[in-house]
Each structure stands twice: as structure tokens, then as C-alpha cells.
């Protein structure tokens, strides 16, 4: 019985409270400054995600590397995905503040490499470094918030972080367009340096989170042993194999090529290997059994991955449509994206306020899936003849759906897990979001290149379609004869529409996660009701022999 009790402590059940009743939180004044500091860090994270979208066409012109568009996103999301759980473990056993500052430092270093990149491969390396930092930046902000405010208040506070993300997304395309047109696309990365410095100063003064006593007394060697390095190595290798297969398949190599088949097999085998490592190394594993067996976490993770992937693919390809099809400047394409981001911003704040008022996030997730799916479907109907009301309205509806639901997986984690499990739970969600984004940006690039070549050959049989891929999004008129330009633009638009079918698919699939997530309130339950429920669960739970307990 003693072993069984110990297991229940180390492996929290889904219905355990996610916060200690006697936990002391910062004062309201400190909480305001903490929220400002975290919001600025999230703003930095969001800015890096959108500022590049309007600059990508000009970057492809500078480097002559339209075929690398997928890698500008995939490299970032690959490393962000691979290092998420490692950061989650570090946030658990090390100083939260130190790990957070380390993440910002890596993010800044990656931005500097991008800003000074002499060629496309160097830019990809910089994006990969920034992705490592991003792995701990956004999740770290949510983790710090979970230590700074009671659960009942986190819906609104998380909504404000989502608002910061939305504001960054609004400013990002404008800044990206302005820098690209007036200065240089390199300023899209230089701007991260002073913003990161300010975020560090604000966070340093007001955040004080004590380390877990279980790990505070351990020596560095003992802490290193608990970082689950074997599991992380296997996971990183699995993700790299998967992303390389998706990036090369159908473009560099045929899908039936031995290289692609081997990479996919290795990705699956290494993924299974990661699960086995986590199962059979209970003393060092990162992902506990409580995360694997939780219904809410499983469905919310799927939901979060789908919604985030839909948002990312759309942010990458809508500016290409505006600049390649509408033939507008980078700054103008940023202006034309404002309805999407404004819809995301307004409904992100509204969603947080509604969750804070009513206590339930599941119905908002369902509504978000519906709005996102409809908006994504409408975006695939864009053509060279589309007018302002169409692309403004379609983007706004899609933004409503994204804003309504993108934050809720993080609230699910904080509601159903114990406080000790929250850091790994949050990084698990952000891992899946980053991984889904990396996968579907790579798939999107594959679809775009293949469909563009097919569409151009269908309307201009004698034209070398690959020259458009190498040319860059804004230089169609330089490579296509004047009499064939309307047909080439139509083919270009159709290729982007076909790429956005991915957004429709993943938006619709997010409904599975929304419907499967349990209805749990973020508001504090009555203690007597909670006690009665716990006693009932204990009476109904089958007793397992102590020999089966870990």
C-alpha cells in the first residue's frame, strides 16, 4: 500500500488539482509587471513568426532560392519541436528563470545569424538556432504565468498573452513589409535584438520562482542524469528523419526513392523507440504515464497541433498570393493581411474573457473548429479576379476561429494536471504544435512546387515551369512573356489555393480534438464537493497489487 500511495504521488491522476491550495502568488502590482514582461517575450516570439512572411518573397529574390521557402519555416519548427520536451524537463528540475533567459539568449543568437546571413543555407541555420530558443520561450512564458496566478485567473491572462501574440502578428507583416521595401529584409531579424533585451530586464526584476526542493540539492552531474538525454536523442533523430523525408519527397527525390522510404521508416522506428525509452526509464523519463493516459490531454494535443498548423500554413502562403498574384509590394501585402490578424486578436481576447467568466473551454474549442474550417475553405476560392471584400472577409472569418481556440490546449494542461506536471504538459502541447507546423509547412511547400509546375505546363506547354520556382514570388513578369503572363498568374494562384487545401483539412480534423476534450471548469471547485468526488473515485477504482506498482 505504501508503494501504491507513492505511485499516486509521482504519477498524478487526471482529476488532481493543478495548484496547491496554500500557494502564495505575487501581488497584483507584481503580477501586472510579470504579465507585461511575459507579453513582451510572447510578442517577440509572435513577431518572429509573422515578420518574415512578407519578407520571404524578397529573400527568395535575393538568394534565388524559392525552393528553400519551406526550409525557412521547417528549420525553425524542426528545432522548436525537437527541443520542446527537453526545455520542459529543464523547467522542472532547474531554475525556471535561468532556463527562460537561456531560451531568450539562443533566440537572439539565431536572429543575429539570420540578420547577417550571406546566403540561403546560413539563413536556414539561423532559423534553426532561433527555433531552439523558441522551444523554451513561448512555453516558458506560460509556465511562469502558471506560477504567478491562480487557475481561475489564467484564462484571461493567457488570453492577454494570446493578444500579445496577435498584436505581434499585426505589426509583423507591416514591419516586415516596411523593412523590406525601405531598408532591408535583414531588419526583420535585427529588430529582435533590442526587444529581447527589454524583455529580459522586465522579467528579471519581478519573477521569483523557487526551485523544486526535490532537485535543488542535487549536484550538476545528478541533474544532467535526470534530463532524459537518451529519450531526447531518439526523439530529435525521429523528428529530423520525418522532416527530411517530407521536405525532399516528391521534390528532390521521388516518393518511392529509397532515401525517402528509409527516412520514413527510421522516423517511425525512432518514434516507437522514444515511447519505449519513456516507458522503461521511470526514474529519468520526461513524459509520465499520467500524460499518456489522459483523455483530455490526448485530444487537446491533437486539437492544438491542427489549429496551429492551419494558422502557420496560411500565414506563409497568403503573402505569397498577394505578392505573386496581386503583384503588390511586401508592405502592401502586410496591410492586406490585417483582417486575418485583427480577427485573431479580437477573438483571442474575447475567448479568454469568456473562459474566465463561464469556466469552460471545450465549447469555445468546438466553435473555433467550425469557424476555422469555414474560413479556410473560403480562402481556397481566391483567384486573380477576387475583390477586396472577399479576401478581407475570408481572412477575418479564419482569424476569428484561430483566435477563439488557439490558447485553450494550454488551459487544458493547467486544469487537468498537477502543478508539478504542468511544465512538461505545456511543452508537450507546444511540441505537437511546432511539429505539426513543421510537417505541414514542408508538405505545403511540396504541394505548392508540384502543383505550380503542373498548372503552368497545362496552360503554357513550352514554358520551363521550374524557372518560376527559382525566380521568386515577385518576379513573374521577368520570366514569363507578356502574352503568357495572365495564364501564368492564374496557374500561380491555383497552386496556392491547392496548397491551402491543407489548411482546410487540418482545420476540419481539429474538431476531433475539440469534441473529445472533457468539459472541466477552470474555476475552483467547492472543497466538500471535491472531497466527495475523490472519495467516490477511490471507492470505485480497482485496487491493484502492490507488486504491480512502480
Q: What is the mean pLDDT of residues 518-539?
A: 52
- Mean pLDDT value of segment 372-388: 88
Mean pLDDT rounded to a whole number for the chain: 76
pLDDT in tens, 226-270: 777 787 788 888 888 887 787 677 667 777 888 888 999 999 999
Angstrom distance (rounded) from CA 152 to CA 47? 29
Where in the chain are the domains? 26-208+221-228+286-537, 229-285
Q: Which of 3-7, 200-204, 292-296, 339-343 has the lowest mean pLDDT?
A: 3-7
Pick the more confident residue, 352 or 372.
372
301-311: per-residue pLDDT in tens? 899 889 988 98
pLDDT at res. 291: 65
3-class DSSP assignment, residue 381 = coil
- Please provide the DSSP assignment of 75-106 as one string: HHHHHHHHTHHHHHHHHHHS-HHHHHHHHHHH
Helices (H) and strands (E) counted in the chain, each on its own, are 26, 0
> What pLDDT, on a 0 to 100 scale, did the predictor assign at position 363?
87
pLDDT band (50, 70, 90) for residue 193? confident
Percentage above 70 pLDDT, the chain? 77
Banded pLDDT at 37 (limits 50, 70, 90): confident
Beta bridge partners of 464: none
Query: For 126-156, what is each residue's pLDDT tens digit?
Result: 888 988 888 888 778 888 887 777 666 666 6
Percent of the chain at pLDDT > 90 equals 8
pLDDT over 90 (residue 504): yes
Identify the CA nearest to 44 among candidates 97, 111, 98.
111
pLDDT of 545: 45
User: 445-450 long-range contacts, Cβ below 8 Å, gap at least 24?
Assistant: 445/69, 445/70, 445/74, 445/247, 445/251, 446/70, 446/246, 446/247, 446/249, 446/250, 446/251, 447/498, 447/499, 447/501, 447/502, 448/317, 448/495, 448/496, 448/498, 448/499, 449/67, 449/251, 450/250, 450/251
Highest average pLDDT, of 19-23, 272-276, 519-523, comes from 272-276
Compute the distance between CA of residue 255 and CA of residue 3 in angstroms, rounded to an integer: 51
* Cell triple for 52: 518574415
Q: Which helix (H) or strand (E) holds 128?
A: helix 120-148
Contact 259, 253 (CB under 8 A): yes
Does the domain spanning 26-208+221-228+286-537 belong to CATH 1.20.1250.20?
yes
Segment 187-212 shows an average pLDDT of: 78
CB 492 within 8 A of CB 383: no
Predicted confidence (pLDDT) per residue in 108-133, tens digit: 899 899 888 888 788 888 888 988 88
Range from 382-391, 414-423, 507-516 that averages highest in pLDDT: 507-516
How far apart, in Å, are the Cα atoms of 162 and each of 38, 156, 306? 11, 10, 17
pLDDT surpasses 60 at 81: yes
Note the pTM of the prediction, 2 decimals.
Answer: 0.73
- Is the distance from CB of 341 to CB of 361 less than 8 angstroms? no
Q: Is the pLDDT of residue 420 over 80?
A: no
pLDDT for 207 equals 72
At 379 the pLDDT is: 92
Residue 360: DSSP 8-state = B
**Comparison of pLDDT for 9 and 293, the residue scoring more:** 293
Q: Indicate the length of the chain as a whole number.
A: 550
pLDDT for 317 beyond 60: yes
pLDDT at 526: 38
Average pLDDT over residues 54-65: 73
Amino acid at each position: 500500500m505504501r508503494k501504491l500511495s507513492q505511485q499516486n504521488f509521482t504519477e498524478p491522476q487526471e482529476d488532481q488539482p493543478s495548484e496547491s491550495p496554500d500557494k502564495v502568488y505575487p501581488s497584483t502590482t507584481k503580477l501586472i509587471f510579470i504579465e507585461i514582461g511575459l507579453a513582451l517575450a510572447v510578442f517577440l516570439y509572435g513577431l518572429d513568426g509573422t515578420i518574415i512572411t512578407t519578407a520571404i518573397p524578397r529573400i527568395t529574390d535575393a538568394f534565388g532560392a524559392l525552393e528553400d521557402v519551406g526550409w525557412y519555416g521547417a528549420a525553425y519548427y524542426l528545432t522548436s519541436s525537437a527541443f520542446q520536451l527537453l526545455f520542459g524537463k529543464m523547467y522542472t528540475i532547474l531554475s525556471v528563470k535561468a532556463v527562460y533567459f537561456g531560451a531568450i539568449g539562443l533566440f537572439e543568437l539565431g536572429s543575429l545569424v539570420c540578420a547577417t546571413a550571406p546566403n540561403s543555407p546560413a539563413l536556414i541555420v539561423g532559423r534553426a538556432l532561433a527555433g531552439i530558443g523558441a522551444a523554451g520561450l513561448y512555453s516558458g512564458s506560460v509556465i511562469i504565468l502558471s506560477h504567478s496566478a491562480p487557475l481561475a485567473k489564467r484564462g484571461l491572462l493567457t488570453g492577454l498573452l494570446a493578444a500579445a501574440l496577435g498584436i505581434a502578428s499585426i505589426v509583423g507583416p507591416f514591419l516586415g513589409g516596411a523593412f523590406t521595401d525601405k531598408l532591408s529584409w535583414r531588419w526583420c531579424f535585427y529588430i529582435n535584438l533590442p526587444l529581447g533585451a527589454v524583455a529580459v530586464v522586465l522579467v528579471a526584476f519581478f519573477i521569483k520562482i523557487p526551485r523544486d526542493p526535490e532537485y535543488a540539492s542535487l549536484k550538476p552531474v545528478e541533474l544532467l542524469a535526470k534530463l532524459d538525454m537518451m529519450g531526447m536523442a531518439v526523439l530529435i533523430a525521429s523528428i529530423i528523419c520525418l522532416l527530411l523525408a517530407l521536405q525532399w519527397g516528391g521534390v528532390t527525390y521521388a516518393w518511392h526513392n529509397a532515401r525517402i522510404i528509409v527516412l520514413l521508416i527510421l522516423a517511425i522506428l525512432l518514434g516507437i523507440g522514444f515511447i519505449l525509452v519513456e516507458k522503461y526509464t521511470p526514474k529519468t523519463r520526461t513524459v509520465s504515464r499520467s500524460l499518456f493516459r489522459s483523455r483530455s490531454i490526448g485530444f487537446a494535443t491533437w486539437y492544438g497541433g491542427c489549429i496551429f498548423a492551419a494558422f502557420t500554413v496560411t500565414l506563409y502562403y497568403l503573402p505569397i498570393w498577394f505578392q505573386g498574384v496581386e503583384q503588390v509590394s511586401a508592405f502592401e501585402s502586410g496591410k492586406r493581411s490585417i483582417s486575418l490578424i485583427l480577427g485573431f486578436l479580437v477573438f483571442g481576447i474575447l475567448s479568454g474573457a469568456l473562459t474566465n467568466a463561464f469556466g469552460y473551454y471545450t465549447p469555445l474549442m468546438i466553435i473555433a473548429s467550425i469557424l476555422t474550417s469555414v474560413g479556410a475553405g473560403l480562402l481556397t476560392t481566391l483567384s486573380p479576379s477576387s475583390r477586396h471584400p472577399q479576401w478581407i472577409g475570408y481572412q477575418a472569418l479564419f482569424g476569428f476561429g484561430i483566435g477563439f481556440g488557439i490558447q485553450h490546449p494550454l488551459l487544458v494542461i493547467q486544469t487537468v494536471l498537477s502543478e508539478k506536471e504542468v511544465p512538461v504538459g505545456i511543452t508537450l502541447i507546444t511540441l505537437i504544435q511546432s511539429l505539426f507546423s513543421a510537417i505541414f509547412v514542408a508538405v505545403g511547400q511540396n504541394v505548392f512546387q508540384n502543383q505550380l509546375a503542373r498548372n503552368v505546363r497545362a496552360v503554357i506547354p513550352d514554358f520551363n515551369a521550374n524557372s518560376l520556382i527559382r525566380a521568386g514570388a515577385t518576379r513573374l513578369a521577368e520570366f514569363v512573356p507578356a502574352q503568357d503572363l495572365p495564364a501564368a498568374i492564374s496557374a500561380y494562384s491555383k497552386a496556392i489555393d491547392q496548397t491551402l487545401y491543407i489548411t482546410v483539412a487540418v482545420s476540419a480534423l481539429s474538431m476531433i480534438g475539440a469534441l473529445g476534450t472533457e468539459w472541466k471548469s477552470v474555476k475552483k471547485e467547492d472543497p466538500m464537493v471535491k472531497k466527495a468526488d475523490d472519495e467516490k473515485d477511490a471507492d470505485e477504482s480497482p485496487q491493484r497489487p502492490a507488486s504491480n506498482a512502480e
